[in-house]
Amino acid sequence: MLGFIFKRVLAAIPVLFLVILITFVLVRLAPGGPFDEERNVPPQVLENLNKRYHLDDPIHVQFFDYLGNLLQGDFGPSYKYPNRSVTEIISSGVPVTMELGFYALIFAVFAGSLAGIFAALKPNSWRDYTPMSIAMIGICVPSFVMGPILVLIFGIWLNWLPVAGWGYAAYDKIIPTITLGATYAAYVARLTRGGMLEVLSQDYIRTARAKGLPEWKVILFHALRGGIAPVVAFLGPAAAGLLSGSFVVETIFQIPGIGRFFLQAAFNRDYTMILGTTVFFAGLIISFNLITDIVTVWLNPKLRKDAFEK
Amino acid sequence: MKFYFTFFAITLYILALGSCGKKDNDARLNENALHLSIGASPQSIDPHVVTGVPGIKVLAGLGESLVSLNLETQALEPGAATHWELSEDGLVYTFFLRQDALWSNGEPVSASDFVFAWQRGMTPSVGWQYATDFYFIDGAEAYHTGANQDPNSIGVKAVDDYTLKFKLVRPYPLFLKQLTSEIQIPLHKTSLEQHGKFDDVVSNWTNAGNFVSNGPFYLKTWEINKIIVLEKNPHYWDAQSVKLDKIYLYPIETEAAEERSFRSGQIQFAFGDRIPVDKIAVYREKNPENLKIINTFATYFYLLNVTKAPFDDVRVRQALAHAIDRKAIVTNITKAGEEIAVTLNPPAAGHHAHVKPLEYDVNLAKQLLAEAGFPNGENFPTVSLIYNTADVHRKVALAIQQMWKSNLGINVTLENQEWKVFLNTRQNLDFAIARAGSISSLGDPQDFLESFKSGHGMNNTGWGNSEYDKLMTEASATLNLDTRYQLLAQAENILLEEMPLIPLYYYANSYLIHEDVKGHTFNPLSRINYKDIYIDRTEK
C-alpha cells in the first residue's frame, strides 16, 4: 500500500511541473502585462519596474528562478498587491474558501441525502417527483442566478439574512453556503435516491422488515448504509469542485476567498499570483484524486490486492 | 445513526458560528463609525505605488498633504502647512509647516519627512508612475533618469524643521493643486526603513501596525479583500475636530453587491462611484434622499486612429463626430444623469466659455463625408470599433453603429476585448475606432488636454500638432488664470477641429448615502474629507 501511495505521489510531480510550465508560458503569451494601465507607463518607469521584478531576464532564467523559489515555498510578490506576497494572499484566502467549501459540502450531503431518502421511499409518487424536480432545478440553475435569487428573497424581501460579506455580520455565511452547495445537494439527492432504490429492493431489507423492525430502523440502520455508498464516492470530486469552483459565489457575496484572487489575477496579468493560485489548485486537485484513489483501493479488496502486488 | 448525529452536530455548529458574529456586528453598527464601500480592493496604500481610486480613498483618511482642498469651494486651504509663499519669478515655493503636527506614533512631523517622500518618489527603482509629471521640479528629471545619482540634487529642501522649499525649473500653475492630492503626503522614514530598503516597494511597511501616518486617522487593520479599519489618530494636531472614532472601508468590486449591501444596511455609504443603472431609477422614485448623482471631471469618448485610412482624412473624422445623437445615448442607454459631451472638457472646467462646441448635424456630416470622397457612404471601407468588455460600452457602441449606418450609410463592426488585451491593442494603434475615457484628478482642463500632446502616454491616436503642443507648453507655464484658460481653449479648439477623438458624454458618479451620515461634500472629483464626516442618528 505504501509503495502504491509513493508511486502515485511520484507520478504527481511531473504533472505539477507541466502545469507550472504551461501556465508560466501561457500567461506570458497573453497580450498585456501586469503594469499596463490606461495611461502608458513611461518607458523609463517600465524599465525600472521590469528590473525590480526581474521581468527583463530571459524567460528560461525567470522560469528556473521561479521554480527555485517555489521549492523553498516562496511564490514571489504579487504584482497587483506589491506589499503582499502571493504566499500571504493565498494563506489569507484559503481558510475562507475551505470554510465555505466545507459548509457547502455539509449542506449538500445533509439536505441532498434527506431529499434522496424521502424520494426513494415512495418512488414515482408526488413524494418522489417533488424533491427530484427541485433537485433537477438545483442542478440546472447556476450559482450566479441562485445567489441573487436567495439574496432577493431572504436578504431583501424577508430581511432575515445579510446579503454580502463573510464573518462580519450575523448569519452572513448561510446564503453563500446554500448557493454554493445547492448544485451538489441536488446531485447528492439523485445519487441517494438511486442508491436507496437499489438497496430497498434487496432481500436483506425484506428480511429486516419480516423480523418486524419499525420502518425507520430499516431505513436508517439497514438501507442507508448501502444506499449512501454512491454519495461517498462522489464526495472526493465534489470537495475539489467546491474549492476550485467557489469563485462565482465569492464574487457575488464579496467573500475574501482564494477563488476571487484566482479570477482577478488573470484579469490583472498578475503573473506570480496566477501561477501561485494555479499551482495551489493543481496540487489540491491532485491530492484529492490521490485520496479518492487510495480510498477506492482500500475499499475494494480486489484492487487492494493488485496495489499490494505491484 | 452516528452518521446523522454527526451531521446534526455540525449543523448546530454552523448555526452557532453564524450567531457568534451577531453581537459584534450590532455593536459595530452602533459605534460612532462610518461604514463605506470603496470599489475594488486597494492594491496598496504606498503613495508611490497606488494608482487606483480605492487606494486613494483609504489614503484620504490617513495622510495630510501640505495644502488641502476645500471640497465645497475648490479653494486651497492650509493642510500640513499653515501658509506658503511664492517667489516673484514663480519658481520658488516656501511652505511653513505646523509646529504642532505629530505622526500617529507621537513623533513630530518635520520638513525632512516631506523631502524624504519626494526623494523616494523620484528614485528610479521605486517605479512611481507619476514621477514624470513632476519633471518641472528642479533636478527631478536628472535624478529620475539616472543622470544624477544624488537625491539631494532634487529641488525639494528642508530649510529647517518646519520650513520646506521647492525650486522649479519653470512656473507651474497646477503645482499647489497637485500638492492637495492624497498621495502627496510625508513619509515616516524610520518606520518605513524598519521593514525594508527605502525604495523597496514590496516590503510590508504599509501593513496595519507598521504604517505610520500624519492624518486624522491611522491604519488599524487591513484584511485583504475583506475590510480596512481606520481609527482616530489621537496625536493628530486637530484631533478635537475629528468626529468619527472609526472608519470601516469595504472593498466591494461589483456594483450590484455594493447596492445590495447598502440596501440591507451593511454599509451606510456606497462610495464606489457607481451603482447599477437599473437601480438608479428605483432610488429616484422610492428613496431619492439616499441617491446622489454628481457630474464629474471625466469624459467618455472614442479615439480615431489617424495613421490609417479612412481616418487620416480630417473630414471623415468630423463627419463621424457630427453624425452622433448624443442626447439619445444619455437618455436611453447610460441613464445615470450623464450630460452630453460637446467638448473634451466638462463644462465645469474654467475655460469652457471659449471653446466652440460640437453639434449634432447630420447634413453637415453627410456633406463632409461626400467631400472626402464617400458620398452617402459609398466605397467607405468597413471599419471596426473596439471596446473593453462591459455592458454599457457594448450598448453605446451598438447605438453609434446604428447612427452611423442610418445617418451616413457606413458600416462599422463591433469588437469587444478583455481589458489588458484592449489596452495593448490601443497602445499599438492596432485599431480604427476605440473606446476611451479620461478623468482629471485635479479638475483642470489642462489635465485632459495634456493627454493629446504629441507622444503622450494616453494619446493613442497617432495624432500630433505642433501648434497644439506649443499652446499646451505655453499654458503649462502661465500662472495668470485667464490667460491660461484662453490658451487652453485655443488648444481645445484645435483638437475639436482636428478631431482625433469624438467626445460622447461626461460621466456622472452615483452614490448611495444613508440619512445618518452627515458632513460629506459631494464633489466632481469624488474626493472625501473624513475629518468633516459625522454620524447623527437623532432623526430616527
Chain A, nearest residue to B211 by Cα: A83
Can you give the three-state secondary structure of B186-244, one letter per residue?
Answer: CCCHHHHHHCCCCCCCCCCCCCCCCCCCCCCEEEEEEECCCEEEEEECCCCCCHHHCCC
Does a structural domain hold residue B7?
no
The secondary structure element, H or E, covering residue B416 is: strand B412-417
Question: Min CA distance, A237 vs chain B (Å)?
Answer: 20
Position B19 pLDDT exceeds 50: no
Question: Min CA distance, A83 vs chain B (Å)?
Answer: 5
Cβ pair B257:A39 closer than 8 A: no
User: What whole-number distance in Å separates Cα of residue B258 and Cα of residue B511?
Assistant: 10
B6 in reach of chain A (CB within 8 A): no
Mean pLDDT of chain B: 90
To the question of pTM greater than 0.90 for the whole model, the response is: no
| Model pLDDT, residue B186 | 96
Q: What is the mean pLDDT of residues A22-39?
A: 84
β-bridge mates for residue B37, sequence order: B250, B270
CB pairs under 8 A between A and B: 175
Q: What is the mean pLDDT of residues B492-496?
A: 94
Does a structural domain hold residue B151?
yes
User: What whole-number distance in Å separates Cα of residue B95 and Cα of residue B158?
Assistant: 10
**At B188, which amino acid appears?**
H
User: What whole-number distance in Å separates Cα of residue B103 and Cα of residue B101?
Assistant: 7
C-alpha cell at B159: 530649510
Full residue range of the structural domain in which residue B89 is found: 65-189
Position A156 pLDDT exceeds 80: no
Write the class of the CATH domain A94-272+288-309: mainly alpha
The CA-CA-CA angle for residues A76, A82, A83, to 5°, reads 95
Chain B, nearest residue to A47 by Cα: B127
The secondary structure element, H or E, covering residue B507 is: strand B501-513
Does a structural domain hold residue B493?
yes
Chain A, nearest residue to B226 by Cα: A256
Q: What is the mean pLDDT of residues B419-435?
A: 92
Kindly state the percentage of chain B with pLDDT values over 90. 70
A180 in reach of chain B (CB within 8 A): no
B184 and B310 together in one domain: no
Query: B189, B207, B241: which is the final residue of a domain?
Result: B189
Q: Which residue among A40, A106, A172 places its CB closest to the CB of B427?
A: A40
Does a structural domain hold residue B179?
yes
CB atoms near residue B391 (< 10 Å): 9
pLDDT band at B242; cut points 50, 70, 90: very high
The CA-CA-CA angle for residues B534, B537, B540, to 5°, reads 150
Contact B501, B301 (CB under 8 A): yes
pLDDT band at B28; cut points 50, 70, 90: low
pLDDT digits (tens, 9 = 90+) for B277-299: 889 989 999 999 999 999 998 99
| Model pLDDT, residue A300 | 65
Cβ pair B127:A48 closer than 8 A: yes
Query: B166, B189, B212: which is the final residue of a domain?
Result: B189
A168 in reach of chain B (CB within 8 A): yes
Mean pLDDT of chain A: 84
B424 and B306 together in one domain: yes
Distance of alpha carbon A25 from its chain centroid, rounded? 25
pLDDT digits (tens, 9 = 90+) for B159-201: 999 999 999 999 999 999 999 999 999 999 999 999 988 888 8
Q: Which residue among B25, B43, B437 places its CB closest to the CB of A168?
A: B25
Question: Min CA distance, B416 vs chain A (Å)?
Answer: 14
> For residue B103, what is the domain's CATH number?
3.90.76.10
Helix residue spans in A30-122 (DSSP H): 43-52, 59-71, 86-121
Q: Which of B247, B185, B193 is nearest to B213 (CA)?
A: B185
β-bridge mates for residue B83, sequence order: B96
Give Cβ neighbours of residue B419 (< 8 Å, ≥ 6 apart). Answer: A32, A267, B388, B389
Q: Which of A254, A173, A157, A250 is nearest to B267 (CA)?
A: A254
Q: Which residue among B25, B223, B252 places its CB closest to the CB of A164?
A: B252
Residues of A in contact with B131 (CB under 8 A): 42, 45
Chain A, nearest residue to B16 by Cα: A171
Give B132's DSSP letter. G
> For residue B323, what is the domain's CATH number?
3.10.105.10
User: What whole-number distance in Å separates Cα of residue B228 and Cα of residue B62?
Assistant: 12
β-bridge mates for residue B416, sequence order: B387
Question: Min CA distance, A81 vs chain B (Å)?
Answer: 5
Domain ranges of chain A: 94-272+288-309
- What are phi and psi for residue B29, nearest 5 degrees? -75, -15
B177 and B322 together in one domain: no
Contact A191, A116 (CB under 8 A): yes
Q: Which of A36-45, A102-111, B80-89 has the lowest mean pLDDT?
A: A36-45
| Model pLDDT, residue B20 | 44
Cβ pair B227:A168 closer than 8 A: yes
Counting every residue, how long is chain B? 540
Give just the sign of the alpha carbon dihedral B475, B479, B481, B482: negative
pLDDT band at A304; cut points 50, 70, 90: low
Does a structural domain hold residue B536?
no
pLDDT band at B73; cut points 50, 70, 90: confident
C-alpha cell at B436: 476611451
User: What whole-number distance in Å separates Cα of residue A84 and Cα of residue A272?
Assistant: 12
A interface test, pick of B2, B254, B423 with most A CB neighbours within 10 Å: B423
pLDDT digits (tens, 9 = 90+) for A222-264: 888 777 778 877 887 888 888 877 888 888 888 888 888 888 8
| Model pLDDT, residue B268 | 93
Contact A87, A70 (CB under 8 A): no
Distance of alpha carbon A93 from its chain centroid, rounded? 14
Query: B164, B189, B214: which is the final residue of a domain?
Result: B189
A interface test, pick of B264, B299, B456 with most A CB neighbours within 10 Å: B264
B174 and B310 together in one domain: no
B224 in reach of chain A (CB within 8 A): yes
User: What whole-number distance in Å separates Cα of residue B400 and Cα of residue B398?
Assistant: 5
Position A138 pLDDT exceeds 90: no
Cβ pair A39:B457 closer than 8 A: yes
Does a structural domain hold residue B123?
yes
Structural domain count of chain B: 2
The C-alpha torsion from A106 through A108 and A111 to A115, rounded to 10°, is -140
| Model pLDDT, residue A165 | 73
